[in-house]
Amino acid sequence: MKFIYYFNFRTLLALVISQAATFIAVTYDLRFHLDLLLFGICIVFPLHFSMQSAFKRRDRALEYFSLFKGGSMSLYYSFQISEDLPSEKKKEATQFLKSMVDQLMQQLEHRISGYNNLQQKLNEIFAFIETYRNEISKRNTLRMIRYMRDVTESSAYLLSLINHRTMAGLRFYSIFFIIIFPWFRHPSCCPSCKKLCPYG
């Protein structure tokens, strides 16, 4: 049901304006000539750049999400193959990893900015590694630190998308011209009712 998200107040406002503009033009037989090239440029170019930027962000987000998943799975398997680490401690490490992933997913889903909460989860994992570094082994510990770097880098980028999206000025510019465009370019009438068409 994500498509319902796009039918918001701005969509309703644009529909109401277009219908009102058509009704007023037909009722009062308003006629005027306007070069719509300027309005076309004002709408098409910002939308083009916004969509292009959105697709680039999406590709980068998928790339960093894959990096985050890969780093998390590598940490999980690193804990599991540690022969000297007790099974209950492996389960505890798994809970730390699950809590970290849940924290990131919750912030992305509800658009909660800030990195402090996720950083706290990462600190817990690092403290666990530091506490049981003898059971994990030095070589495996060094690998896990590299995996944590991947997790930190990717999660920081993903959370930055909450605040750093399309520039507010460009979004306002696009939305403004989309909303006022129906006042100047309402739907024209069919040939059979040409006498009522303001472009007649």
What pLDDT sits at residue 196? 44
Number of domains in the chain: 1
What pLDDT sits at residue 17? 79
Is residue 47 included in any domain, yes or no? Answer: yes
Is residue 195 included in any domain, yes or no? Answer: no
Measured between alpha carbons, how far is 151 from 146 in angstroms, rounded to an integer? 9
Is residue 85 included in any domain, yes or no? Answer: yes
Is residue 108 included in any domain, yes or no? Answer: yes
Candidate from 11-15, 77-81, 151-155 with smallest mean pLDDT? 11-15
Determine the longest span between alpha carbons in the chain, in angstroms: 89
Higher pLDDT, 21 or 112: 112
What is the total residue count of the chain?
A: 200
| pTM summary value | 0.67
pLDDT tens per residue across span 6-64 = 667 777 777 787 788 778 877 877 666 666 676 667 777 777 777 788 788 889 999 99
Is residue 6 included in any domain, yes or no? Answer: no
- Whether 189 shows a pLDDT value over 50: the answer reads no
Is residue 101 included in any domain, yes or no? Answer: yes
Is residue 165 included in any domain, yes or no? Answer: yes
b (16+ CB within 10 A) / e for 42-70: bbeebeeebeeeeeeeeeeeeebbebbee
Query: Which domain range does residue 153 map to?
Result: 35-184
Is residue 194 included in any domain, yes or no? Answer: no
